Every structure is written in C-alpha cells, then in structure tokens.
Amino acid sequence: MSFTAGMPTVDDSLGSTRASFVTELAGIRSTMSANHVDQNNAGAGKHTFCQFTSVADGATSLTELGLYNKSNGVAQRFFMRQPNSGTIIQISGVDPIVSATAGCTFLPGGLLLQWGGGTTNAGGNSTTVNFAKNGASGFVVLDLVGLSLAANTVRYSYSSLTNDGFTFHVSGSDGRNVSFGYSVIGTMS
C-alpha cells in the first residue's frame, strides 16, 4: 500500500474517511515494523536488523556520523563518514580466512592483515610463501610486519616480497626443520 497524501480532504467527513484511515494506519504500522520490534511489544521502536541500500556519500554536521552502504568499485561495502563531512572510512571488506597455516582479516580503513607459517629445512634452503589473498584477488602488499622462528640457532631472511608472497631463506643449522610464522599488511578492496 502506498501513502495517501492530503487525506482527508476539506470536504470529507470523519465517517466517510474511517476505512481509509484504518487502512492507512495499518500500512504505516506494517512499514514501521520492518526490521523493528513491533510497537505493541516490549522494546518497541528498537532495531532488530539493519539493511542499507546503496547510496552516495552524504554530508554530516558537526555532531553527526554517517553510516551507509556504497560500492567501492569492486563490491558493496559499509562506510562511516566522520562529523562535519569529514573523512570517509571503509569499515567492511573481504571475508576473513581463519586458518593456522594462512589467514587474513579486514581492518577498518581498507587494510588487510594476513598471517601464516610453514616449515623449511634449515640447511640453506628457501621456501616460497603464498599469501591467502594475493595480487590476483586485489591484494597490494605494504610491508612484511613480522617474521618469527621456532628455533634460535639459524640465520634467516626473506626476499622477493610481492603482492602474492615472498621467499623465506634459512641457513646455519644442523639440518633440522625450522618452523616459521609471518604477518603482512596491505590494502584490498
């Protein structure tokens, strides 16, 4: 049902518009109850679920924050606009991957934190590390922010840091396998 503007008209009587009013109020209640606790229940007016249609960046006043959904050029994402039409911050992103061997999580502002680990032989070998999200999926690496070993008797380094991964090098060991972990940060749509 659509809203009827200007009802009742000047010439309408209360009796002749009763059915129209009842229908109009039922429509308003039905519309208002979408994603809200029903007005006849405890907690009336509170949200039960929020859905945001895609919109353009809107203006905010000195005392307002804006929350909205829009496309970032790749997919629909959730954004926040700071007060006084300030900075626009992307606060949702790619689905996280939770795994002990290679995972990632999206951070507000468009950053993606990735982590993982592996095992390599310490006798001078190199191991290729592949990120959970790579360049083909839109990942742009900023920096390798952590690299750790489970053994402290070897020398290690890395090279060839790209959007897809890096190469991990170890040397100076008695030939035992060496477990390592890493974390990397970058951007992703």
CB 187 within 8 A of CB 142: yes
What's the mean pLDDT in 98-127? Answer: 86
Please write the tens of the pLDDT for every residue from 68-79.
Answer: 999 988 899 999
Query: What confidence category does residue 111 fall into, taking pLDDT thresholds of 50, 70 and 90?
Result: very high
What is the per-residue pLDDT for 2?
Answer: 72
CATH 2.60.40.3940 assigned to domain 102-187? The reply is yes
160: three-class secondary structure by DSSP: coil
Q: Give me the residue label for tokens 């790619």.
A: 94
Answer whether the bond into residue 83 is a cis peptide, omega within 30°: no
Cβ neighbours for 12, distance < 8 A, ≥ 6 positions apart = none
pTM of the model: 0.73
Q: Band of the pLDDT at 115, cuts 50, 70, 90?
A: very high
Q: What is the location of CATH 2.60.40.3940 in the chain?
A: 102-187
**24: phi then psi, degrees, rounded to nearest 5:** -60, -45
Q: What are phi and psi of 134, to 5 degrees?
A: -120, -175
Lowest mean per-residue pLDDT among 61-65, 72-76, 109-113, 121-125 = 121-125
Mean pLDDT of 46-53: 90
**Does the structure show a pLDDT above 70 at 189?**
no
> Given this model, what pLDDT does residue 151 score?
66
| Residue that has been written with the tokens 């039922």 in this structure | 26
Whether residue 66 contacts residue 81, with contact meaning beta carbons closer than 8 Å, is answered with yes
117-173 residue pLDDT tens:
988 876 667 889 999 999 998 899 999 999 988 766 677 889 999 999 999 988 765
